[in-house]
């Protein structure tokens, strides 16, 4: 299983109106940044495909440091879990598309 760290800046623009006085990173932004971070590590010419599921379990706030743990199985499915310390914030699965040379 691979791991990487994603940190959301304390002044992250997505949190400005989400929610005033109690900012959190919107789920769409959190998922997008997680997939982008995973893609940067999987440098095989593949790309994210269909999202099988994503489960948001705990809010992520500006300034949080998110540990992303992921693995890709032989069928190309990437399973991931994101945590702030020991608290899981997001889990999910993505069908990862691989590019293959023409035969």
pLDDT for 21 equals 87
Phi, psi of 40 (to 5 degrees): -65, -25
pLDDT at position 100 over 80 = no
**CA 92 – CA 96 distance, rounded (Å):** 12
* Domain layout of the chain by residue ranges: 2-11+23-97
pLDDT at position 18 over 70 = yes
**Averaged pLDDT score across all residues of the chain:** 90
2-11+23-97, what's its fold? Thiol Ester Dehydrase; Chain A (3.10.129)
Q: What mean pLDDT do residues 61-86 have? A: 96
**pLDDT digit string, tens, across residues 34-57:** 999 999 998 776 788 899 999 999
Indicate which residue of 12, 18, 58, 69 is catalytic: 18
Active site residue 58: no
**CA 102 – CA 84 distance, rounded (Å):** 42
Q: What mean pLDDT do residues 4-31 have? A: 91
pLDDT for 101 equals 47
Percent of the chain with pLDDT over 90: 69
33 is written with which tokens?
């940044």
């Amino acid at each position: 299983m691979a791991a990487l760290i994603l940190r959301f800046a304390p002044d992250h623009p997505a949190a400005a109106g989400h929610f005033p006085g109690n900012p959190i990173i919107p789920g769409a932004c959190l998922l997008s940044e997680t997939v982008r971070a995973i893609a940067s590590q999987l440098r095989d010419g593949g790309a994210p495909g269909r999202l099988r599921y994503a489960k948001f379990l705990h809010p992520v706030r500006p300034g949080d440091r998110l540990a992303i743990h992921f693995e890709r199985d032989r069928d190309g499915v990437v399973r991931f879990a994101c945590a702030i310390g020991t608290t899981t914030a997001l889990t999910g699965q993505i069908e990862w598309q691989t590019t293959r040379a023409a035969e």
